[in-house]
Structure 1
Amino acid sequence: MKKNALRQLALERAKSLLDRALYVNDEFAQEHAKVAKKIILKYKLKMPFEYKILFCKNCKKFMVPGRDSTIRIGRSNIKALRITCKFCGHTYRKILTNKNNAKSPNSSKKTSASE
């Protein structure tokens, strides 16, 4: 098989393993996640963000949302996603941006000619 076809197949298998790991018990979930991560590292693939946040950045364990981690969205002006690992207590923060309503830096400044 060609290299791109192998990489595509490897990514599909890793995604299916991680999807399956969300619904099995803890022992099998950790094993499925470990195999999926080995596949991704072997073929030098970039893990999609929705799967990347399922792994703790500190202890490297697979976290099932709600069971092994808590997920919160901040209420301040800067919206941030907070994921806390229940194994080690590490908190991962990702700032969320709204691409549709993002203001350009010049939009808030008024010129004296327009007043």
Structure 2
Amino acid sequence: MKEKSRSPATRMIARERIEVLFGQAEQAFPDHPERSNRYVELARKIAMRQRIRIDRAFRRRYCHHCSAFLVPGRNMRVRVSRGNVVVTCQSCNKKMRYRVVRPSAGKE
């Protein structure tokens, strides 16, 4: 079996493709939500194959359980509870919690 390429150039290409796929998912969501879910699955597969992390902005745009593309008010619920942002996917009813750290007053 052929070795997978792990050069910086292929990682850069993979990051660009992930950005493009999330952009297409955002555009396709109003008309074809299932297509946008497929774009998210493809982006995750690319990231897993190249062993790269998906950027935080993109990671918070999909459900980690069912890989659904999330749009606030349409298929996800956002609540703030005890220093956490709780995102509920309405496709699978799973909850994801993101810690919110309040910036300290001394730093600028």
Identity of aligned residues (%): 23
Q: Which amino acid aligns with 2:50?
A: Y
Residue 44 of structure 1: how far off its partner (Å): 0.6
Residue 46 of structure 1: how far off its partner (Å): 0.6
Q: How many residue pairs align between the two structures?
A: 100
Match of 1:29 among 36, 40, 48: 36
Q: Say whether residues 1:39 and 2:23 are aligned partners.
A: no
CA offset digits 1:34-88 (Å, max 9, x no partner): 11111111111111111112222333333233222112234xxx43211010011
Stretches of structure 2 that go unaligned for 5 or more consecutive residues are: none
Match of 1:87 among 81, 87, 91: 91
Determine if contact 1:56/1:85 at 8 Å carries over to the other structure: yes
Q: State how far apart, in whole Å, the 2-side matches of 1:3 and 1:85 are.
A: 36
Q: Report what 2:8 is aligned to.
A: 4
- Which structure ranks higher in relative contact order (CA pairs < 8 Å, sequence separation ≥ 6)? 2
Q: State how far apart, in whole Å, the 1-side matches of 2:89 and 2:38 are.
A: 18
Match of 2:59 among 52, 56, 59: 52
SS at 1:23 equivalent: helix
Determine if contact 1:54/1:65 at 8 Å carries over to the other structure: no
Q: Say whether residues 1:19 and 2:23 are aligned partners.
A: yes
Q: State how far apart, in whole Å, the 2-side matches of 1:34 and 1:57 are.
A: 10
Match of 1:64 among 57, 63, 71: 71
TM-score, with structure 1 as normaliser: 0.73
- Asked which structure has the greater CA Rg, the reply is 1
Q: Which amino acid aligns with 1:97?
A: V
Cα RMSD between the aligned structures?
2.4
4+ long deviations beyond 6 Å:
none
Q: Which amino acid aligns with 2:93?
A: G
Residue 98 of structure 1: how far off its partner (Å): 2.1
